[in-house]
């Protein structure tokens, strides 16, 4: 399960002091600091800085329609995400089936954290149809299991409605989201993911989106495929 409970071993547990967190925000594109490849100091209370303010990212045009990542609002979105988590095909891999408090706990661990993982709705042509987690893989325990690079950015995805899963949208959406990451995070050179190797449709969707299978990983809760999309190869794959 892609977990974000700070109290467990396989989740986001690296604690950074505020003065260190302040160094992880990149300078705005076009600024003097950006031209020098430098970093800018930010308000340590600005938890959106670790992922370059996802809430400000513009929508993307895709072959399936206009797609946007919308950071989760717990009160607005909990019922919808809980319903998706209780679909058997989703529950097999996310392991969050059950009452809403289970999904709420999973969301709260991210929403109340330092911003290294941001839960989002994927909205296609104005309709919420997928759930995403965009996270700093280099600050995640995943980094213990592969040669992480600074600013590696990870993605978790589930497509909610069964009808949308049947449309084969996974590859299209993964390409769009990884493009959004690379366009909006200038310090990020790779987008990574670790789907369960048993989840063949998920692995196939990543391959269709221009990711490559880098390694097989033995993680605490699964055997995973390490999928990587490289900035340098994004126009070729």
What would the pLDDT profile of 126-154 be if each residue is shown by its tens digit?
A: 999 999 999 999 999 999 999 999 999 99
Counting every residue written for the chain, the total comes to 237
**Domains by residue range for the chain, with CATH:** 18-233 (3.40.630.30)
Give the CA distances from residue 174 to residues 74, 85, 157, 168, 182, in Å, rounded to whole numbers and listed in that order: 24, 19, 8, 11, 12
pLDDT by residue (tens digit) across 185-221?
Answer: 999 999 999 999 999 999 999 999 999 999 999 999 9
Share of the chain above pLDDT 90, in %: 76
Q: What pLDDT was estimated at residue 48?
A: 80
| Two structure tokens written together for 36 | 């020098």
| Two structure tokens written together for 147 | 């040669």
User: Hey, how many other C-beta atoms are within 10 angstroms of the C-beta on 180?
Assistant: 20
pLDDT by residue (tens digit) across 58-111?
Answer: 999 999 999 999 999 999 999 999 999 999 999 999 999 999 999 999 999 999
* pTM for the whole structure: 0.83
Hey, what's the torsion of the CAs at 5, 49, 16, 177, to 10 degrees?
A: 50
Place of tokens 């020098």: 36
Q: Of 94, 164, 156, 97, nearest to 129 (Cα)?
A: 164
Q: What is residue 88's three-state secondary structure?
A: helix
């Amino acid at each position: 399960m892609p977990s974000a409970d700070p109290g467990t071993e396989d989740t986001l547990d690296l604690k950074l002091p505020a003065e260190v967190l302040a160094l992880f925000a990149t300078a705005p594109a076009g600024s003097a600091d950006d031209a020098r490849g430098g970093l800018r100091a930010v308000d340590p209370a600005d938890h959106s800085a670790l992922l370059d303010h996802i809430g400000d990212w513009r929508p993307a045009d895709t072959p399936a329609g206009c797609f946007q990542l919308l950071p989760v609002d717990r009160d607005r979105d909990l019922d919808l995400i809980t319903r998706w988590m209780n679909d058997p095909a989703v529950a097999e891999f996310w392991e969050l089936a059950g009452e809403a408090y289970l999904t709420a706990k999973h969301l709260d661990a991210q929403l109340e954290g330092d911003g290294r993982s941001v839960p989002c709705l994927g909205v296609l042509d104005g309709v919420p149809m997928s759930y995403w987690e965009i996270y700093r893989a280099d600050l995640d325990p995943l980094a213990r299991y592969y040669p992480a690079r600074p600013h590696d950015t990870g993605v978790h995805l589930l497509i909610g409605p069964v009808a949308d899963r049947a449309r084969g949208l996974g590859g299209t959406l993964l390409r769009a989201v990884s493009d959004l990451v690379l366009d909006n995070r200038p310090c990020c050179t790779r987008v990574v993911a670790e789907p369960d190797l048993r989840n063949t449709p998920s692995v196939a969707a990543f391959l269709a989106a221009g990711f490559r299978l880098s390694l097989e990983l033995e993680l605490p809760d699964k055997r995973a495929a390490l999928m990587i999309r490289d900035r340098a190869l994004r126009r070729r794959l």
